[in-house]
Amino acid sequence: MTRFGLGCAQLGNLYSAISDETAFATVEAAWGAGVRFFDTAPHYGLGLSERRLGAALRGRPRDSYTISTKVGRLLVPSPDTAGEQDSAGFVVPATHRREWDFSRDGVLRSLADSLDRLGLDRIDLLLIHDPEDHAPAALDEAYPALHALRAEGVVRAIGVGSTQAAVLDRFVSDTDIDAVLVAGRYTLLEQPALDSLLPACLRRGVSVLNGGVFNSGLLAVDQPHAGLPYEYGDAPDAIVTRARAIATVCARHGVSLPRAALAFAGAHPAVASVVIGAQNPDQAKRNFELAADPPPPAGLWADLIESGLLRPDAPLPEPAGAS
């Protein structure tokens, strides 16, 4: 698990279409930056992300990288909607429909389909995807299936991914998972995962993959503005105002908002990897270069805390040169 990973939703044409060539070049740019962890899911572009990621990594030694994918949504052929566009935010034809399925058979079928799309013989980390509205089935059916797959050596590690910290907290407390992928709930903009989830992960030795650290794109620019996405929709005015206030403090210290967001996202000791998406190779190169920059000055965090824009109990990046 590298300190930073590539989130591959954009390889599935999230928000806008990209070509196969752009998708492959994005993976190559991440690889060139030292990234060896890649996160995908059947949900992303109705399997397009998995197909593109598998093709982009083909020919590289299998032990040289780590892949996570997810279960919970089965892709079922839907010829009646094949001429329409997918309605879940991905610019792809609606050739399939997503069916929630957290049963043992659903998990096994989802895994087999993902292996086929990726062109691989194993998955390193298998995650239960977005179980918040299906918690009983995810806990009583999907989790035991994943536990058995890990015991049999079919997958190396298991976990859960969600945008809801409380759901992840329940799995950390009640199961024997290896990792959680928390999306958008521990960022420079908001830190609800700090209340219970991250301390619980530290206590139980569960690795945290911190995704959505730009809050769907709002923190990915120096000057946040209306019309940028947040939670897969347009950002509310109050959220834009808060992001602008954070950006203003960053600018006073000569630090870009994306750089500060990436530095903060990886500072908590429970975070094993920060998962960063990219729409094209230039974005990937920029993001991973920013992630490799020295941490911003300590005064930035102090000003954010004093302004009420950052929780005072949040672990902060160590200044450059600190031991």
For residues 52 and 24, the answer to whether their CB atoms sit within 8 Å is yes
- The helix (H) or strand (E) run that includes residue 155 is strand 155-162
* pLDDT at res. 203: 97
* pLDDT at res. 323: 45
Residue 82's nearest CA partner among 70, 72, 69, 96 is: 96
For residues 291 and 7, the answer to whether their CB atoms sit within 8 Å is no
- Digit-by-digit pLDDT tens for the chain (323 residues) are 899 999 999 999 999 999 999 999 999 999 999 999 999 999 999 999 999 999 999 999 999 999 999 999 999 999 999 999 999 999 999 999 999 999 999 999 999 999 999 999 999 999 999 999 999 999 999 999 999 999 999 999 999 999 999 999 999 999 999 999 999 999 999 999 999 999 999 999 999 999 999 999 999 999 999 999 898 788 999 999 999 999 999 999 999 999 999 999 999 999 999 999 999 999 999 999 999 999 999 999 999 999 999 999 999 998 765 54
Residue 143 falls in the annotated catalytic set: no
Residue 206's nearest CA partner among 267, 158, 167, 163 is: 158
Which residues are bridge partners to 4 per DSSP? 274
Task: Give phi and psi for 115, each to the nearest 5.
Answer: -60, -40
Catalytic residue among 44, 143, 186, 230: 44
* pLDDT at res. 320: 61
pTM for the predicted model, two decimal places: 0.96
Residues written for the chain: 323
Q: Which domains does the chain have, with CATH numbers?
A: 4-306 (3.20.20.100)
Residue 306 CB neighbours (<10 A): 11
Maximum CA pair distance of the chain?
Answer: 60
Residue 294 CB neighbours (<10 A): 12
